[in-house]
Amino acid sequence: MNIRKLKFYHFRNYDKASFSFDENTIHVLQGKNAQGKTNIVEGIYFLSLLRSFRTNKLAHLVKHGEASFVIEADVESKGRIEELKVAVSDSKKQLFRFNDPVAKYSSFVGMVNAILFCPDDMTLFSDAPAARRKFIDMELIKLSKSYTATLSHYQKLLKERNQALKQPYVDRSLLDVYTRQMIQDQKIIISQRHRFLDELMEKVRTLYPFFSDGQERMEARYETFVSIEEDDLQQAMRACYEKTLERDLQYKNTQIGVHKDDFVFLLDGVPLVEAASQGQKRSVLLALKLGLAQIVYEKGGQYPILLLDDVFSELDESRRRKLIAMLPETMQIFITSAEPIPKSWFERPVKFYEIENGKIKEDLHE
Ligand SMILES: Nc1ncnc2c1ncn2[C@@H]1O[C@H](COP(=O)(O)OP(=O)(O)O)[C@@H](O)[C@H]1O
Ligand SMILES: [Mg+2]
Mean pLDDT, all residues of the chain:
94
Which stretch of DSSP H or E encloses residue 309? Answer: strand 305-309
| Highest-scoring range by mean pLDDT, 46-50, 176-180, 215-219, 226-230 | 176-180
Angle (CA) 217 218 221, round 5°: 125
H helices present in the chain, as ranges: 37-49, 105-108, 129-143, 145-165, 172-211, 233-251, 272-275, 278-300, 317-326
CA of 35, closest atom in ligand 1: 21
pLDDT digits (tens, 9 = 90+) for 219-230: 999 999 999 988
CA of 310, closest atom in ligand 1: 23
pLDDT digits (tens, 9 = 90+) for 318-329: 888 889 999 999
**Mean predicted confidence (pLDDT) in 189-200:** 97
Secondary structure class of 271 (helix, strand, coil): strand
Tell me the pLDDT band of 312, cut-offs 50, 70 and 90. Answer: confident
| Centroid of ligand 2 to alpha carbon of 247 (angstroms) | 46
Are the C-beta atoms of residues 101 and 95 closer than 8 Å to each other?
yes
Q: How far apart are CA 349 and CA 341, in angstroms?
A: 14
pLDDT over 60 (residue 176): yes
DSSP one-letter string for 12-30? TTEEEEEEE--TT-EEEEE
pLDDT over 60 (residue 365): no
Would you tell me how many other CB atoms lie within 10 Å of the CB of residue 6?
20
> What pLDDT is attached to residue 218?
93
Class of domain 123-303: mainly alpha
pLDDT over 60 (residue 366): no
> What pLDDT is attached to residue 242?
98
Pairing of strands 333-337, 26-30: parallel
Q: Report domain extents, the chain.
A: 123-303
Query: Nearest residue CA, atom 24 of ligand 1?
Result: 34
For ligand 1, whether the C-beta of 64 sits within 6 Å is yes
pLDDT digits (tens, 9 = 90+) for 57-79: 999 999 999 999 999 999 999 99
> What pLDDT is attached to residue 303?
97
Of 58-67, 206-215, 261-270, 338-347, minimum mean pLDDT range: 206-215
**Mean predicted confidence (pLDDT) in 338-355:** 92
For ligand 1, whether the C-beta of 173 sits within 6 Å is no
**Mean predicted confidence (pLDDT) in 250-268:** 97
Tell me the pLDDT band of 211, cut-offs 50, 70 and 90. Answer: confident
H helices present in 26-95, as ranges: 37-49
For ligand 1, whether the C-beta of 257 sits within 6 Å is no
Q: How far apart are CA 7 and CA 111, in angstroms?
A: 17
β-pair partners for 82 = 75
pLDDT over 90 (residue 214): no
β-pair partners for 360 = 355
> What pLDDT is attached to residue 319?
86
> What pLDDT is attached to residue 34?
96
